[in-house]
Amino acid sequence: MPKSLEITDFTNHPAVKKCMDDLKKQFPGTPGKELIVSDVLDGHGNQYVNLVQKGGGVLGIALVGYTYILEEMGIRFLRLAGTSAGAINTALMTVIGDDKTVPKSREILKDICALNFFDLVDGNAAAKWLIRTFITHKNFSRQAKNLVSIIFGLLAFFVVADIVFLGLQHTYPILTIATKISFILTGFYLMLLAALAFYISTLVKRLKESGFGINPGDFFYDWIKKRLCENHVVTVADLNKKALATPDLHLRTPHPHGTSDLKGDVTFITSELVSQNKIEFPKMCNLFRTDINLLQPAGFIRASMSIPIFFESYYINDIPCEDDQIKKAWCDTFGEDNPPSKARFVDGGILSNFPINIFYNKDVVTPRLPSFGINLDDSTPESKTNDAAQWSLLSYIGRMFNTIRFYYDKDFFIKNRVFSKGVGTIPLAKYNWLNFFLTDKDKIDMFVLGAQAATDFLGKFKWEEFKAHRKIMHEQLEAKETAK
């Protein structure tokens, strides 16, 4: 029986150990050489930051490597946000443990070790086969083309054989038997093709009936619900309570606002297709129920990770759209007078895969704590340099889609460049974000890449510089406002 993964396989990996050694050497904790990333501290000396985690399918394992290093270096998280895979990690970081002072990444690793990622692909056998073949075979499209060529080639062969034998039997009557055999074989082949066509049409029909989602996503829903329940989060109120819980904080340097207004929260981003809006859960729960505890918190994370087509959409049915409270909520939030009676959610990544903008507060002059972001970069060098005129139709459509879906977040970074100073990028070009058939080695390697990216980031991050830039940004905004 193969050895199952253990937490130490990740944390005791030589590369991870080296990261920790390097950081401890760089920041031994002596005055002038300590790691300073924030002015907000707790009684244990932990420093607090806000954290946003990007979505990226299975690449989310790398996020854990990143947060593990941050936590080991005494960094804790006050406000958390994430999309898709980032939402899963965000949810676990929110609910695990009783307060924010304890590190969470080891516990998340425990869950990862116990999870067989392929169980998340819970569609029918044909869908599983297709996904596995498509993901694991680099030349899948060529293989598919070859298969189609063989199918039509065989059909052509049988038809030609029928014609040849039918013509020849007039001159050579002995070939009559061959003609009959040829026609019988053609009939059988056509029958096989008809059966195949019928099976494909059944799959397409099933896909349509399931809202164009290959995998129901039920396994994931049950899995995340169990994790939440294990950590005493059953209702939305429980989730909010956990997210809000804030330890006693104090400031490294005096600040006019003190620490009384510093409170934790959590945000999961998802895209709602009926009203065509970006939804932030649990903040926007009041749009769907008058009693928010009637919603299931696990659903928020399920909604955030509903990769279109790959997973079925997540629905919230029977929204009391005639209720005045609901109507008011929709009107106040989106300016819409007629709320939908049913909401259909897909992956938040189609709108905002890296929602750092939710931590933006224009009134902040000097920040007390920074907003950190973990970026997952799976783009290959070739994808940035290859000839735009030579793209295939699929690449062309993909580029258009990506331009649209990434620009919302990109626009925020362009306009608020200081936020990019808090972002560390994990290079993951050699991994496919939909490869749910990861080997244990792949999981460990991704964790290591996350740890290395965090080490690199902490080595370069300058808190005082961040604060100064944030202040300049505020002054520039104020100057613009005054000029208006």
Partner 1 sequence: MTFIIENSLVLFCITFGVMQLTSLIMKRQEANFCTNDGTVRAFSIFDLEFAANAKEIVNLISGIFNLPPAKQHTSVKALKSQLYIDFLFMPAAYGSIFLLCIKTSDKLTTHAGKTVFLVLAWMQVLAWLCDIIENIYLLTKISPKPKGSGPFAFALYQLNEWFKWGISLTGAVCGISAMLYFWLTGSYSKDSLLYLIIVIAEILVIGIAGKMLSKKAKQ
Give 168 or 207: the residue with its C-beta nearer to partner 1: 168
Q: Is 171 in the site for partner 1 (CB under 8 A)?
A: yes
Q: How large is the greatest C-alpha to C-alpha distance in the chain, in angstroms?
A: 106
Q: Cβ 160 to partner 1, closest distance in Å?
A: 10
Handedness of CA 329, 335, 341, 347 (dihedral sign): negative
Give 7 or 175: the residue with its C-beta nearer to partner 1: 175
* Distance of alpha carbon 20 from alpha carbon 447, whole angstroms: 14
Q: Cβ 172 to partner 1, closest distance in Å?
A: 9
Give 160 or 197: the residue with its C-beta nearer to partner 1: 160
In the chain, the amino acid numbered 407 is Y
Rg of the chain over all Cα atoms, to the nearest angstrom? 28
Q: Cβ 380 to partner 1, closest distance in Å?
A: 23
Give 169 or 416: the residue with its C-beta nearer to partner 1: 169
x/- contact string, 50-89, with partner 1 (CB under 8 A)? Answer: ----------------------------------------
Select from 114, 163, 397, 400 the one that contacts partner 1 (CB under 8 A): 163
| Interface region with partner 1, contact rule CB under 8 A, candidates 135-143, 163-171, 419-427, 462-470 | 163-171
Alpha helices in 232-368 (DSSP H): 236-244, 297-304, 324-334
Q: Which of residues 289-348 bind partner 1 (CB under 8 A)?
A: none
Q: Cβ 145 to partner 1, closest distance in Å?
A: 17
Measure Cα distances from 335 to 303, 332, 338, 361 in Å.
23, 6, 9, 22
Q: Cβ 166 to partner 1, closest distance in Å?
A: 6
What's the DSSP call for residue 3?
P
Q: Cβ 140 to partner 1, closest distance in Å?
A: 21
Q: Cβ 390 to partner 1, closest distance in Å?
A: 8
Q: Cβ 336 to partner 1, closest distance in Å?
A: 44
Q: Is 170 in the site for partner 1 (CB under 8 A)?
A: yes
Give 166 or 364: the residue with its C-beta nearer to partner 1: 166
Q: Is 178 in the site for partner 1 (CB under 8 A)?
A: no
Handedness of CA 184, 186, 189, 190 (dihedral sign): negative
Give 160 or 404: the residue with its C-beta nearer to partner 1: 160
421 Cβ partners below 8 Å, 6+ apart? 370, 461, 465, 466, 469
Q: What is the dihedral of CA 171, 175, 180, 184, to 10 degrees?
A: -120
3-state secondary structure of 426: strand
Measure Cα distances from 87 to 340, 347, 479 in Å.
25, 10, 37
Q: Is 126 in the site for partner 1 (CB under 8 A)?
A: no
| Interface region with partner 1, contact rule CB under 8 A, candidates 164-172, 193-201, 205-213, 401-409 | 164-172
The closest of 225, 220, 246 to 235, measured between CA atoms, is 225
Q: Cβ 163 to partner 1, closest distance in Å?
A: 7
Q: Is 389 in the site for partner 1 (CB under 8 A)?
A: yes
x/- contact string, 127-156, with partner 1 (CB under 8 A)? Answer: ------------------------------
| Interface region with partner 1, contact rule CB under 8 A, candidates 85-93, 159-167, 230-238, 455-463 | 159-167
Give 140 or 391: the residue with its C-beta nearer to partner 1: 391
Q: Is 167 in the site for partner 1 (CB under 8 A)?
A: yes
* Distance of alpha carbon 274 from alpha carbon 102, whole angstroms: 40
Q: Cβ 175 to partner 1, closest distance in Å?
A: 12
The closest of 151, 21, 134, 59 to 377, measured between CA atoms, is 59
Q: Is 394 in the site for partner 1 (CB under 8 A)?
A: no
What's the DSSP call for residue 290?
S
Select from 5, 166, 175, 193 the one that contacts partner 1 (CB under 8 A): 166
| Interface region with partner 1, contact rule CB under 8 A, candidates 25-33, 143-151, 168-176, 282-290 | 168-176
303 burial class (0-12, 13-18, 19+ CB within 10 angstroms)? Answer: buried
**End-to-end alpha carbon distance in the chain:** 71
| Interface region with partner 1, contact rule CB under 8 A, candidates 165-173, 212-220, 311-319, 328-336 | 165-173
Q: Is 1 in the site for partner 1 (CB under 8 A)?
A: no
Q: Cβ 392 to partner 1, closest distance in Å?
A: 14
75 burial class (0-12, 13-18, 19+ CB within 10 angstroms)? Answer: buried
| Interface region with partner 1, contact rule CB under 8 A, candidates 9-17, 136-144, 161-169, 429-437 | 161-169
Q: Is 174 in the site for partner 1 (CB under 8 A)?
A: no
Is there a contact between 302 and 224 (Cβ–Cβ < 8 Å)?
yes
Give 15 or 166: the residue with its C-beta nearer to partner 1: 166
339 Cβ partners below 8 Å, 6+ apart? 275, 287, 319, 321, 326, 327, 329, 330
What pairing do the DSSP bridges indicate for beta strands 265-272 and 423-427? unpaired
Cα 229 to chain centroid, rounded: 22
| Residues lying near partner 1 in the complex (CB under 8 A) | 163, 166-167, 169-171, 389
